[in-house]
Structure 1
Amino acid sequence: MNNIELAEGIYYVGAVDWNLRDFHGYTTTRGVTYNAYLIIDEKVCLIDNVKAPFSQELIERISQIVDPAKIDYVVTNHIEPDHSGSLPAIMARAPQAKVIITDHGQTGIQKHYQQNYDFRVVKEGDTLKLGRHELKFIPLPMLHWPDSMATYLPGEQILFSNDAFGQHICTTKRFDDENNLHDELYEAEKYYANIIMPFGKIVLKALEKCKELPIKMIAPSHGIVWRSHIPEILAKYAMWGKGINVAKVIIAYDSMWGSTEQMARRILEGVAAAGVQGSFYKMAVSDRSEVIRDILTAGGLLIGSSTLNNGVLPNIAALLLYLKGLRPANKIGAGFGAYGWGGGAQATIEELLAKAGVAVQEPGLTLKWVPDKEELNKCFEFGLTFGQKVLASIAEKR
């Protein structure tokens, strides 16, 4: 197999899942990797492992370098099964190995796998001597689970960052400078938006810790390893963590018989007339994960729906509930839509936007049946006014 050396005695031994297209609701059109790293020193250390179906591939990669029975330590930066699923298989071959983990992680591993391994619980600043190498542990609770941590290798200046700085992208090359940077940053943005977005304040604290470390390489648990474009990905995380937005409005809608779509198109014209970039998504045919990526840096969010059973259409309900959990920062929003004999969609939209932390601008815009020429003009003005509000909001936060 094609084992890759990050530095002398430090190997990539993970697995590439080219065919996965759904990561608990997050669409992964370019597949997923489960990155694991092996350090050969006086002591042998495995950092993270892979999803359970890829256990044999992990063991085969390790076996090409060293007998898995010689593993002394298994660092478990995060207990989610895509990072810990092969732990039982590894421990069956190296039962003497110690599992390096946070206190929350120990509880989680015991519950996941019903095993009481030889745990060594670490906290901020703890170190582990392997020989010429020494590991330093950096707990990052709630980035993005309570057990999460990073592991730093000072001698080679490598940060094993687990879910931070990751991307869902499959390649045959493991380093950022061997692939297309635009694709890597695009997928890093999508990953941040769908996984890390709720934890912006914690991201900023983590970046402060990173400033204290000389870093030549960031080795996450998903996607490529950063070695040539570290300033770029750190700058992106700083921007996303601070909730810095651009003059962009996302219009996400669904329509039953076309009236709400007519409104959405005319609103988009108004947004553009305000000098603001617009993105336009009909949720019945759009990938929610991609829409969330676009929302990450947008200053404004307009959600439209026909009224169904005094509420919103199912695709809009799914988007708004998903957004509620992600809690995007520093955004303004509003609702719009058409109804027949009774309304209700706009109130639902506004309620869920507010619960997502979006500053709802009133009034929204709701119309009965099919919009006439005068009402379409109102839609244009609505978009124009909202675009101007986005410009003002962004200027205020600079």
Structure 2
Amino acid sequence: MRKKVKNNVSWVGYMDWELQQFHGDEYSIINGSSQNSYLIEEEKTVLIDTVWAPHSFDFIDNLKQEIDLNKIDYIIANHGEIDHSGVLPALMEEIPDTPIYCTANAVKSLEGQFGKRGWNFHVVKTGDTLDIGNGKQLVFVEMRMLHWPDSMATYLTGDNILFSNDAFGQHFAVEELFNDKANQCILMKEAMKYYTNILNPFSPLVAKKIKEIVGLNLPIDMIAPSHGAVWRENPLQIVEKYAEWAEAYQEDQVTIAYDTMWEGTAKIAHRIADEIHKQSPDTVVKVFNVTKTDKNEIMTEVFKSKAIAVGSPTVGNDILTGIAGWMAFLKSLKFKNKKAAAFGCYGWSGGSVKILKEKLDEAGFNVVDEDITSLWNPDETDFEKIPALVKNLLA
């Protein structure tokens, strides 16, 4: 079912209420999501992106109810990832000669995923335009590494809509389509979670791209991403948020993440939290067992934090595997300008705290010298070291 976006622009995507995981099992979906595809019907008819292959039948069948597929003059492939391109093979069987406008890298990714099928590719770069009639044009803007090398955005003149693909999106199902109709708390939480877990590694590029888009002097009345709500009420608010988030964002918050075997490391974690409250009552403190809490939710809290403390007991002269996997993910997100501390227990031999400090340093954190390394179960001697650790962590 189509939903009107503005004038001759319609949403023809898929509202995915049942989706629970994304990127394999790497990203958790809590509030549903959407795969947004858009139809522009001016003198020329344009389809912007498709949806994921499992919804191929629904998408094409619904599209046929709205329009004769042979009337589609152009297809815009803003990004080759299969949640946006999955239906292309089935669609191109119906309309095989339809021109596909995309970046040079998108040709590589589409042919890499679906094979060389002789599709009619038209390669575009930033500033290229496509006349669609009635005085309107599409303007293409490369969005390299936001978040694939093939990504681009498409701007519709006249209606002043930026089809931003994965930038400015959220995994959030909004049946009413628009940001002003969505729950605002959930919307911004999901937008931040999306940025943290998908785009944060590319923050330097985000900052540059925002400056480039602003430099094009294109009036933007709407931002229509490929997931989640369309920004029509104050659409530049999400651009402003991205600009803020891209600059080593932090709030007055500390996140404590740990795993534990026999609760000793857990005790240290909670005593550190207590001490932070004593030394800085206004600082927000979050405490998570990484094996019992969704990793994407934890990383969103790390993104908001000015400092973190990470704990693990020693097992097999190493850290627990739950923490090890979590630390690998932490490193991949490339957080900047945040402090970190390490803590943990050991029995027959130690080593976990040293390993944690090394991994935190490799992940780009400023690691404080102080740590808490407890033999067997922590006692008051161990707890007495916590104030100095917290003082340095908050400094």
TM-score by length of 1: 0.94
2:202 is aligned to 199
2:120 is aligned to 118
* Aligned mates of 1:63, 1:120 — CA distance in 2: 25
Task: Give 1:45 deviation, angstroms.
Answer: 0.8
What's the secondary structure of 1:111's corresponding residue?
helix
* Aligned mates of 2:84, 2:37 — CA distance in 1: 8
What's the secondary structure of 2:311's corresponding residue?
strand
Contact 1:15 1:58 (8 Å CA) reproduced: yes
Alignment of 1:179-190 (within 5 A): 179-190=182-193
Structure-2 change in CA distance of 1:306 and 1:229 (3 Å): farther
State the AA in 2 paired with 1:294.
E
* Aligned mates of 1:196, 1:166 — CA distance in 2: 11
Task: Give 1:83 deviation, angstroms.
Answer: 0.7
1:84 is aligned to 85
2:309 is aligned to 302
Question: Structure 1 residue 240 and structure 2 residue 239: aligned?
Answer: no
* Aligned mates of 1:88, 1:147 — CA distance in 2: 18
What's the secondary structure of 2:4's corresponding residue?
strand
Contact 2:153 2:163 (8 Å CA) reproduced: yes
* Aligned mates of 1:292, 1:97 — CA distance in 2: 42
* Aligned mates of 1:157, 1:106 — CA distance in 2: 27
State the AA in 1 paired with 2:77.
T
* Aligned mates of 1:4, 1:231 — CA distance in 2: 22
Task: Give 1:380 deviation, angstroms.
Answer: 4.0
Question: Structure 1 residue 356 and structure 2 residue 369: aligned?
Answer: no
Task: Give 1:174 deviation, angstroms.
Answer: 0.3
C-alpha distance after superposition, 1:325-363 (max 9, x if no partner): 111121111211111111121122122212211111213
2:353 is aligned to 346
Question: Structure 1 residue 15 and structure 2 residue 14: aligned?
Answer: yes
Structure 1 residue runs of 5 or longer lacking an equivalent are 390-398
1:174 is aligned to 177
Indicate the RMSD between aligned Cα atoms, in angstroms. Answer: 1.3
1:323 is aligned to 330
State the AA in 1 paired with 2:373.
T
What's the secondary structure of 1:271's corresponding residue?
helix
State the AA in 2 paired with 1:233.
I
* Aligned mates of 1:45, 1:231 — CA distance in 2: 25
Contact 2:197 2:296 (8 Å CA) reproduced: yes
What's the secondary structure of 2:174's corresponding residue?
coil
State the AA in 1 paired with 2:9.
I
* Aligned mates of 1:229, 1:370 — CA distance in 2: 54
What's the secondary structure of 1:363's corresponding residue?
strand
1:138 is aligned to 141
* Aligned mates of 1:60, 1:163 — CA distance in 2: 25
* Aligned mates of 2:261, 2:60 — CA distance in 1: 52
TM-score by length of 2: 0.95
1:5 is aligned to 4
Question: Structure 1 residue 386 and structure 2 residue 393: aligned?
Answer: yes
Contact 1:305 1:337 (8 Å CA) reproduced: yes
2:276 is aligned to 271
Identity %: 40
* Aligned mates of 1:248, 1:16 — CA distance in 2: 34
2:65 is aligned to 64
2:236 is aligned to 231
Contact 2:249 2:303 (8 Å CA) reproduced: no
- Tell which deviates more after alignment, 156-165 or 369-378: 369-378
Q: For 1:162, which of 154, 160, 165 is the aligned residue?
A: 165
Question: Structure 1 residue 259 and structure 2 residue 264: aligned?
Answer: yes
* Aligned mates of 2:315, 2:234 — CA distance in 1: 48
Contact 1:273 1:384 (8 Å CA) reproduced: no
Contact 1:252 1:303 (8 Å CA) reproduced: yes
Alignment of 1:21-60 (within 5 A): 21-24=20-23, 25-60=26-61
* Aligned mates of 2:21, 2:120 — CA distance in 1: 34
* Aligned mates of 2:368, 2:277 — CA distance in 1: 18
Task: Give 1:171 deviation, angstroms.
Answer: 2.4
Alignment length, in residue pairs? 387
1:392 is aligned to none
Structure 1 runs, 4 residues or longer, greater than 4 Å off: none
* Aligned mates of 1:224, 1:301 — CA distance in 2: 32
Structure 2 residue runs of 5 or longer lacking an equivalent are none
1:220 is aligned to 225
Task: Give 1:298 deviation, angstroms.
Answer: 0.8
* Aligned mates of 1:36, 1:318 — CA distance in 2: 35
Contact 1:274 1:385 (8 Å CA) reproduced: no
* Aligned mates of 1:231, 1:73 — CA distance in 2: 28
Question: Structure 1 residue 102 and structure 2 residue 103: aligned?
Answer: yes
Task: Give 1:209 deviation, angstroms.
Answer: 2.7
Q: For 2:155, which of 152, 157, 182 is the aligned residue?
A: 152
